[in-house]
């Protein structure tokens, strides 16, 4: 049931404050301001030398954001690959380490094959899944459920932000276990996470501005997305969302890679969407933006209140998010990139819930 929405995708974008709130309440003790995992882990984070993550598509990009979190908060090296590569790479794995899988459906063929490989290599297998009765859930040593509810739209939205929520809770738990995250810092991040549903509701209020902007984006043949740090995987996710439902060619790049090639593409015809909350790499991203502006590129900046004040650049548009702690900012900044892809595709008359050539659950290689 789509309720009052035109598409499941719209409904699922709007549901995010609620389902992210439900998911985080499952992993966090809100009064104590600390993570309390609802599962028993068959390993101790403090014994791990490495985590290997594999997944596909949007779930892979959630995993890529969590790499930054696990490394920063828990100081654990993280290796990550798309499952279709990982499964055939014959990656050497030391027994007793952690292999982490992320999947909405829990049925994706490549992710499942990777899971079986890791299991045979003596890894502890932990899966972040949305369908608790899925094959991956059954074959894992332990699952961390996302409580996104049924996701109908082929383009993943609420499952993605719930995956991020669970992965952040795991990274915080890992940081505590390894003594790399103080109780005080844990409380700061957990409090910030508890604030995320409210900030997502704020983010959704930019929908009208984004809808108008989508008309401009719909004229483009190519769109470039740029970001640094955790905004880099978000740039990849923005490009993925746009191409799968609007069929506009889009690419995501690490902002610092711009000068190593893609800068050659910049002209007035290609919108450049820059995702840059005011975090520790903000200044660096701004200088990449200046390089785009100097070549006549048209910039759509997605930032926060502080970033909007400090960017000091002429943009085609600036979409201003509420301030969020830098660790949780990617969960909030996911909302405008979803809305932009959605409204661009709707404006172009595309079938956003059933894009051509795509299936909700990819059970073949």
Nearest residue (CB) to ligand F6R, 57 versus 238: 57
CA distance 5 to 12: 9
Distance of alpha carbon 169 from alpha carbon 100, whole angstroms: 14
Q: Is residue 58 a contact point for ligand F6R (CB under 6 A)?
A: yes
Q: Please list, in sequence order, all residues whose beta carbon lies within 8 angstroms of the beta carbon of residue 293, skipping any fewer than 6 positions away.
A: 299, 313, 314
Nearer to ligand F6R, 35 or 334 (CB): 334
- Active-site residue 360, yes or no? yes
Among 98, 155, 266, 332, binds ligand F6R (CB under 6 A): 155
Residue 105 binds ligand F6R, judged by CB under 6 A: yes
Count CA within 13 A, CB hemisphere, residue 161. 33
| Site membership for ligand F6R, residue 127 (CB under 6 A) | no
Looking at 44-52, 98-106, 217-225, 346-354, which segment touches ligand F6R (CB under 6 A)? Answer: 98-106
Is residue 362 packed enough to be buried (19+ CB in 10 Å), middle (13-18) or exposed (0-12)? middle
Residues 6 or more apart whose Cβ sits within 8 Å of residue 154? 244, 245, 353, 354, 355, 358, 359, 360
- Single out the residue of 23, 66, 84, 111 in contact with ligand F6R (rule: CB under 6 A): 111
- For residue 57, state whether it binds ligand F6R (rule: CB under 6 A): yes
How far is CA 341 from its chain centroid? 15
Closer to ligand F6R by CB, 182 or 363: give it. Answer: 363
How many residues does this entry show for the chain?
365
Strand partners, 254: 227
DSSP sequence for 304-352: EHHHHHHH----SEEEEEPP--TTTHHHHHHHHHHHHHHHHHHHTT--T
2, 284, 306, 360: the active-site residue: 360
Choose one: 51-59, 117-125, 291-299, 313-321; the region binding ligand F6R (CB under 6 A).
Answer: 51-59
- Residue 176 or 243 having the CB closest to ligand F6R: 243
* Among positions 103, 127, 140, 145, the unique one binding ligand F6R when judged by CB under 6 A: 103
Among 104, 123, 140, 344, binds ligand F6R (CB under 6 A): 104
Please identify the residue of the shown chain whose CB is closest to the bound ligand F6R.
57
Give the position of tokens 């035109």: 6
φ, ψ for residue 241 (rounded to 5)? -60, -45
Q: Is 156 in the site for ligand F6R (CB under 6 A)?
A: yes
Contact positions toward ligand F6R, by CB under 6 A?
A: 56-59, 103-105, 108, 111, 155-156, 240, 244, 361-362
Q: Which residues are catalytic?
A: 360
């Amino acid at each position: 049931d789509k309720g009052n929405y035109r598409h499941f995708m719209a409904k699922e974008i709007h549901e995010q404050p609620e389902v992210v709130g439900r998911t985080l309440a499952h992993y966090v003790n809100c009064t104590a301001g600390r993570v309390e995992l609802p599962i028993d882990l068959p390993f101790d984070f403090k014994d791990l030398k490495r985590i290997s993550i594999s997944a596909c598509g949007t779930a892979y990009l959630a995993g890529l954001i969590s790499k930054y979190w696990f490394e920063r908060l828990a100081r654990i090296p993280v290796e990550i690959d798309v499952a279709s590569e990982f499964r055939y790479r014959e990656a050497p794995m030391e027994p007793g380490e952690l292999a982490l899988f992320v999947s909405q459906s829990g049925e994706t063929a490549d992710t499942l094959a990777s899971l079986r490989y890791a299991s045979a290599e003596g890894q502890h297998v932990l899966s972040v899944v949305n369908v608790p009765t899925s094959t991956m859930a059954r074959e894992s040593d332990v699952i961390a459920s996302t409580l996104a509810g049924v996701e109908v739209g082929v383009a993943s939205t609420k499952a993605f932000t719930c995956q991020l929520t669970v992965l952040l809770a795991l990274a915080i738990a890992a940081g505590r276990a390894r003594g790399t995250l103080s109780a005080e810092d844990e409380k700061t991040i957990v409090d910030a996470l508890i604030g995320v549903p409210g900030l997502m509701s704020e983010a959704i209020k930019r929908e009208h501005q984004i809808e108008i902007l989508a008309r401009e984006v719909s004229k483009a043949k190519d769109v470039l997305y740029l970001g640094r740090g955790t905004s880099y995987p978000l740039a990849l996710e923005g490009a993925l969302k746009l191409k799968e439902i609007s069929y506009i060619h889009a690419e995501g790049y690490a902002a610092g890679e711009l000068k190593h090639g893609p800068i050659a593409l910049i002209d007035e015809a290609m919108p450049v969407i820059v995702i840059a909350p005011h975090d520790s790499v903000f200044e660096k991203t701004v200088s990449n933006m200046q390089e785009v502006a100097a070549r006549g590129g048209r910039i759509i900046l997605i930032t926060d209140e502080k970033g909007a004040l400090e960017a000091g650049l002429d943009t085609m548009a600036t979409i201003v998010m509420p301030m969020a702690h830098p660790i949780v900012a990617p969960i909030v900044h996911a909302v405008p990139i979803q809305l932009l892809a959605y409204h661009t595709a709707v404006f172009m008359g595309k079938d956003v819930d059933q894009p051509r050539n795509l299936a909700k659950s990819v059970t073949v290689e």
